Structure 1
Amino acid sequence: MQFDRVDQTLLELLQRDGRMSAQALSEVVNLSARATLNRVRRLEEDGLIEGYRAMLHRAALGEHVSVFAEIALKDQRQASVQRFEQAMVACPEVIACYLVSGRYDYLVRLACRDLAHYRDLTNTWIDDVGLGIDKVVTSTELQTVKEFAGFPLMVRDRA
């Protein structure tokens, strides 16, 4: 997919604030509101914009602990991998799960009430032989220095 500088600006603005009106966007990119809205709709239809969501204030949700777990599986058979991934998708405490290269197979980010909650959750996973977990190595988040706020965009002019 190709996009130009106007598309890039729209994507950058919408990553920062998905609720910006077409009028506000149009003022930045110097197009009419209708032309701007058409561009945004095309970016959505082309799959560059997958959706919109609200960023919640973590502290307002109550106390919790954020934990990163490096998880190694006992084997790499497709059935084992699928069972593990389905369990991660279904678990509300799992807020991100990445298949990675290296010593571990997955990096999982969790939000738990406290460390006891995390321990109980991971003990349940380890005890479930169907998940095939070999090892879990934990790092507890002490402070968020930078949270994900969108992907960097590089200008690709239209042909």
Structure 2
Amino acid sequence: MDRVDHTLLELLQRDGRMSAQALSEVVNLSARATLNRIHKLEDEGHIEGYRALLARQSIGEHVSVFAEIALKDQRQATVQRFEQAMVACPEVIACYLVSGRYDYLVRLACRDLNHYRELTNTWIDDVGLGVDKVVTSTELQTVKEFAGFPLMVRTTR
């Protein structure tokens, strides 16, 4: 990847609907050459997909909760069942395996705190998931939302 590819990734990460023509004007290539580069970046797996970011107020009231979850054991079967449950749960909007006192950091979007409590109680009661402990932090205000990864341009010597 060269500097043009990095620029395209940065621009598309900010606005995935930017036209090939608009992108081409920034990177000083033809629209066709720019589109070819974008297709190559997609084919090589640098671009995994495109999605719309919804305005949170448009989807109705909800509570955003961060849950630190510790499993009872680290057996592969337990880990797989837990991770499959997180992937299948629509309320789970992000789930990370982390190091430290807890095994997972999970971000959830729930109707209200009662909905969150019912959901996590279900996880704790499901022996197969192996959930030992859930520690909750409720989001009070979003200061900065994820808007893409910083692109570090490698310099060659």
The TM-score by the shorter chain falls in which range?
Answer: over 0.9
Equivalent position SS for 2:83: helix
How many angstroms apart in 2 are the aligned matches of 1:150 and 1:52? 12
Among the aligned pairs, what percent are the same residue?
A: 87
The residue number in structure 1 matching 2:151 is 153
Could you say if the C-alpha distance between residues 157 and 46 of structure 1 is closer, same or farther in structure 2, counting changes exceeding 3 Å? farther
How many angstroms apart in 1 are the aligned matches of 2:71 and 2:18? 43
The residue number in structure 1 matching 2:96 is 98
The residue number in structure 2 matching 1:136 is 134
Q: Is the Cα–Cα contact under 8 Å of residues 5 and 157 in structure 1 kept in the other structure? A: no
Equivalent position SS for 1:153: coil
The residue number in structure 2 matching 1:108 is 106
Give the CA deviation at 1:4.
1.0
TM-score, structure 2 length as denominator? 0.97
How many angstroms apart in 1 are the aligned matches of 2:141 and 2:111? 16
Moved over 4 A (4+): none
Query: What's the CA shift string for 1:101-131, capped at 9, x where partnerless?
Result: 0000000000000000000000111011111
Letter paired with 2:53? M
Could you say if the C-alpha distance between residues 158 and 28 of structure 1 is closer, same or farther in structure 2, counting changes exceeding 3 Å? farther
Unpaired runs of at least 5, structure 2: none
Aligned pair count reads: 157
The residue number in structure 1 matching 2:26 is 28
How many angstroms apart in 2 are the aligned matches of 1:157 and 1:105? 36
Unpaired runs of at least 5, structure 1: none
2:45 to 44, 47, 51: 47
TM-score, structure 1 length as denominator? 0.96
**After the TM superposition, which residues 43-122 of structure 1 pair with which residues of structure 2 at under 5 Å, given as runs?**
43-122=41-120
How many angstroms apart in 1 are the aligned matches of 2:91 and 2:152? 33
Higher relative contact order, structure no. (Cα contacts within 8 Å, ≥ 6 residues apart): 1
- Within the alignment, does 1:17 sit opposite 2:39 as a pair? no
Query: What's the CA shift string for 1:61-86, capped at 9, x where partnerless?
Result: 00000000000000000000001001
Let me know the Cα RMSD of the aligned residues: 1.2
How many angstroms apart in 1 are the aligned matches of 2:135 and 2:3? 43
Give the CA deviation at 1:158.
8.4
Equivalent position SS for 2:136: strand
